[in-house]
Amino acid sequence: MDIGIIGTGRVGSALRQGWSASGHDVQMAGRSTARSIEEVAGWADIIVLAVPFAALETVATRLDGAAHKIVIDCTNPIAMGPDGPGLALGHTTSGAEKLQSLLPKAHIVKTLNQVGAEIMADTAGFAQPPVQLIAGNDENAKQVVAALVSDLGFEPLDAGGLAAARILEPFALVWINQAVVRGMGRDWAFGALRRSSR
């Protein structure tokens, strides 16, 4: 599958590494790339936004090629407050829903926002696959994205419609709190433990 990643930072680079290893054709667009956002978005089957949330609106204005395509939103609306990182918006909306309003003809799917880039690049070494929750309004788009998430070594879990991004984005803050604020480090992920039959 042709995957266009917008953003060349740690998350974008990690996803490129993971999907390229799975046999997908991946191209990136960003400040340091030869190809523009418009070119990569027009070429790709799947567009992935791995940019800071503050850049989301500006990037969206350059995504005319996203119409009727799947757009994976990896961003988190995080802002620094007096007690550390928190949500820039939430409760009655989400960053993903804002993106959908900016790209009304695209199929927005929220995922790959719940763990650090290190795990996205390499999910090996866990007793069972780490989890990535997925939210989106288009069922076919979610199935396609679930397969891509599986290709990275995650267990995809369907969280429901795009409004579920209102819980997935704060969930990312739980990971950030433990990894960064509480000193757990970045080499861990959430998992779904299932009780064996007794």
Q: What is the pLDDT of residues 35-77, one digit of tens each?
A: 999 999 999 999 999 999 999 999 999 998 899 999 999 999 8
Q: What pLDDT does 49 receive?
A: 98
Reference 99, options 13, 17, 169, 175; nearest CA is 169
Domains in the chain: boundaries: 2-181
C-alpha torsion sign, points 85, 88, 94, 96: negative
CATH class name, domain 2-181: alpha beta
Give the phi and the psi of residue 80 in degrees, each rounded to 5.
Answer: -85, 130
User: Could you give the strand order of the β-sheet that contains 107-110, starting from the edge strand earlier in sequence?
Assistant: 25-29, 2-6, 46-49, 70-73, 107-110, 131-136, 155-160
Q: What share of the chain is helix, strand, coil (3-state, %, to 5)?
A: 40, 20, 40
